[in-house]
Amino acid sequence: MGCVGICGSDVHYLVNGRIGDFIVKEPMIIGHESSGTIAKLGNNVNNLKVGDRVAIEPGVPCRTCSFCKEGRYNLCKDIVFLATPPVHGSLRKYYKHAADFCFKLPEHVSLEEGALLEPLSVGVHACKRANIGIGSKVLILGAGPIGLVVLLVAKAMGANKVVITDLVQDRLNVAKSLGADEIYLVKRDVSEKDQIKSIHEIFGGEPDKTIDASGAQSSIRLAILATKSGGTAVLVGMGAPEVQIPLIDALIREVDIRGVFRYVNDYADALALVASGKVNVKPLITHNFKIEETVKAFDTSKSPESGAIKVMIHLK
Ligand code: NAD
Ligand code: 572
Ligand code: ZN
């Protein structure tokens, strides 16, 4: 293994011991944002050779169910996904993975970038689900790692104006430095109606695509209410299992609500964005640690004061 990034879900399992029905019942190795160098090959592997540097797509599906056969393998019920109990993750010196879910990195793409293809693929999938293209006006709710990768991909896909919101000014400052056209600081004491008014003023109109990357009920409501009639609200953030939303408003204004579950056939596109220089993911890495410093790495990742966006663990 080369690099493993820490994801919010890793921290969540460590701190809370579960995400929904996925419960950590025994000690579990964490890590699913990863890259490495091929040390050994299985008998029938002919797409890779020893010494190749690869990014690892962490979910291996059954390949035989109807979802897999239809090309929507992210929906496979039997997908084996790293660091999702009871499946161990990749934060270890050596790790074995299906060769067809390993993506060879060109020489000029680093192992750090390889690990970052994982969250970037979530951004690619979200932007595809939103049908972002030339001229799109995009509102992103939440400027954590996922909101930020959505921002990078939306710009690369030709979005004309991208506005991003957060409750935390520091996160918005990072978003601005990564190319957000405008930022909007959400204040809890401002009414929903006034927030929508301000967002429309910032756009000089209404966004035609909104992507929620926070999971907060207030944001999900905004995703529907602030989006132009006929537009699309894409939900990536996962918070409470049930939320109250203005469904009839979505219905009468034909605002499409679309879900996102990880990614599917997006790794190659994420790699192409990075390899071509259209997307620069390097500024997302705020902290680097050796594997021996893993405890410190997790402390940094979970501390709001650290200003961490992406914490990267290096195995060599
Ligand atoms: P994060 O917690 O680092 O980022 C969320 C951001 O949203 C934070 O900066 C927070 O301040 C901000 N926020 C919270 N409430 C807000 C509000 N009302 N308005 C605006 N901003 C608000 O998490 P992350 O790693 O960026 O991931 C984002 C979400 O995406 C999480 O819920 C995560 O579980 C989810 N996720 C989903 C998928 C999927 O397949 N659907 C994949 C990866 C991550
Ligand atoms: O990088 C993949 C990823 N997926 C996340 C969160 C963080 N990173 N998801 C949110 C939690 N779900 S889940 O279905 N689950 C724990 C399996 O609730 C998966 C997607
Ligand atoms: Zn993750």
109 CB near ligand 1 (under 6 Å): no
Q: How far is CA 210 from the centre of its chain?
A: 15
Q: Where are the beta strands (DSSP E) in the chain?
A: 3-5, 18-19, 22-23, 33-37, 53-56, 59-60, 80-81, 102-104, 137-141, 161-166, 182-185, 209-212, 232-235, 256-259, 285-290, 310-314
Exposed/middle/buried for 88, CB within 10 Å: 0-12, 13-18, 19+? middle
Alpha carbon nearest to ligand 2 atom 8, residue: 9
Instruction: State residue 1's pLDDT score.
Output: 98
Q: How far is the CA of 213 from the centre of ligand 1 (A)?
A: 5
Does the model's pTM come out above 0.85? yes
pLDDT per 10-residue tile (average), the chain, 316 residues: 98 97 97 98 96 98 98 98 98 98 98 99 99 98 99 98 98 98 98 98 98 98 98 98 98 98 98 98 98 98 97 96
Q: Which of 7, 9, 81 for mutating ligand 2's site (highest number of atoms within 8 Å of CB)?
A: 9
The ligand minimizing its distance to the Cα of 260 is 1
83 CB near ligand 2 (under 6 Å): no
Instruction: State residue 52's pLDDT score.
Output: 98
Domains of the chain: 3-116+281-314 (3.90.180.10), 123-259 (3.40.50.720)
Instruction: State residue 21's pLDDT score.
Output: 95
Cα(28)–Cα(45) distance, integer angstroms: 28
Instruction: State residue 151's pLDDT score.
Output: 99
Alpha carbon nearest to ligand 2 atom 10, residue: 238
262 CB near ligand 2 (under 6 Å): yes
Instruction: State residue 86's pLDDT score.
Output: 97
**DSSP tag of 253:** T
The ligand minimizing its distance to the Cα of 237 is 1
Q: Which of 4, 118, 125, 262 for mutating ligand 2's site (highest number of atoms within 8 Å of CB)?
A: 262
The ligand minimizing its distance to the Cα of 125 is 1
90 CB near ligand 1 (under 6 Å): no
The ligand minimizing its distance to the Cα of 13 is 2
Instruction: State residue 316's pLDDT score.
Output: 84
Tokens read off for 178: 């990564």
Q: Which residues surround ligand 3, an ion (CB under 5 A)?
A: 7, 9
Instruction: State residue 123's pLDDT score.
Output: 99
Cα(164)–Cα(154) distance, integer angstroms: 11
